[in-house]
Amino acid sequence: MARFLFLVGSVYGNSSSVAEECSEWLRSRGHAAEVFNTASLQDLASDPEAILMVCTSTTGDGELPDNIYPLYQALREEFPLMPERRYAVIALGDSSYERFADAGKQMDELLTELQARRIGEPLFVDACETADPEGEALAWLKEWMAELEA
């Protein structure tokens, strides 16, 4: 079974709820899943084979939430290449803003620069189109797992 580390960026709790729902679903299927609301490089290093699941909202004018920004900065500064690391992105946003889901896009770009391997396409959850981000993320996760296991 696979191991997952959810790296959460959240201001109002929506991303945290999505990460918790997804991790519960994974655990119910025998996988190990841990949610980090303030992850550090040490957390990532403690389980180098775990799949990273970035689950973040966007705040302000396309910025990362305060609780995931230190991890983003540490990754940029330390620049630890991760060619064996796999990851996925769930980005929450509001398409009425110019920089829709930009925090998720920034994390995706950085992990790509660090040579991590993204599995599948990111999920972009638009608050203008859904009132159930957890349900949308779970539906995506079920399809995404098929790609992971292929």
* pLDDT tens by residue, 124-136: 999 999 889 999 9
**Which own/partner pairs from 64-68 qualify as long-range (CB within 8 Å, at least 24 positions apart)?**
64/9, 64/103, 64/106, 64/107, 65/9, 65/10, 65/11, 65/15, 65/103, 66/11, 67/8, 67/9, 67/10, 67/37, 67/38, 68/7, 68/8, 68/9, 68/10, 68/38, 68/39, 68/103, 68/107
Region 117-125: mean pLDDT is: 96
* pLDDT at 35 > cutoff 90: yes
**How far is residue 39's CA from residue 31's CA, in Å, rounded to a whole number?**
20
Out of 7-11, 42-46, 68-72, 96-100, least confident range: 96-100
Contacts for 132 with CB less than 8 Å, ≥ 6 apart: none
* pLDDT at 150 > cutoff 80: no
**How far is residue 125's CA from residue 43's CA, in Å, rounded to a whole number?**
26
pLDDT digits (tens, 9 = 90+) for 54-71: 999 999 888 999 999 999
- List the CATH code of the domain at 3-149: 3.40.50.360
Q: What is the pLDDT of residue 148?
A: 78
Task: Name which of 46, 147, 133 is nearest 88 in CA terms.
Answer: 147
pLDDT digits (tens, 9 = 90+) for 70-118: 999 999 999 999 999 999 999 999 988 889 999 999 999 999 999 999 9
DSSP 17-72: HHHHHHHHHHHHTT-EEEEESS--HHHHHT-TTSEEEEEE--BTTTBPPTTTHHHH
Q: What is the pLDDT of residue 146?
A: 85
Region 39-52: mean pLDDT is: 94
Q: What is the dihedral of CA 80, 84, 85, 87, to 10 degrees?
A: 130
Q: What is the CA radius of gyration of the chain?
A: 14
Q: Where are the domains of the chain?
A: 3-149
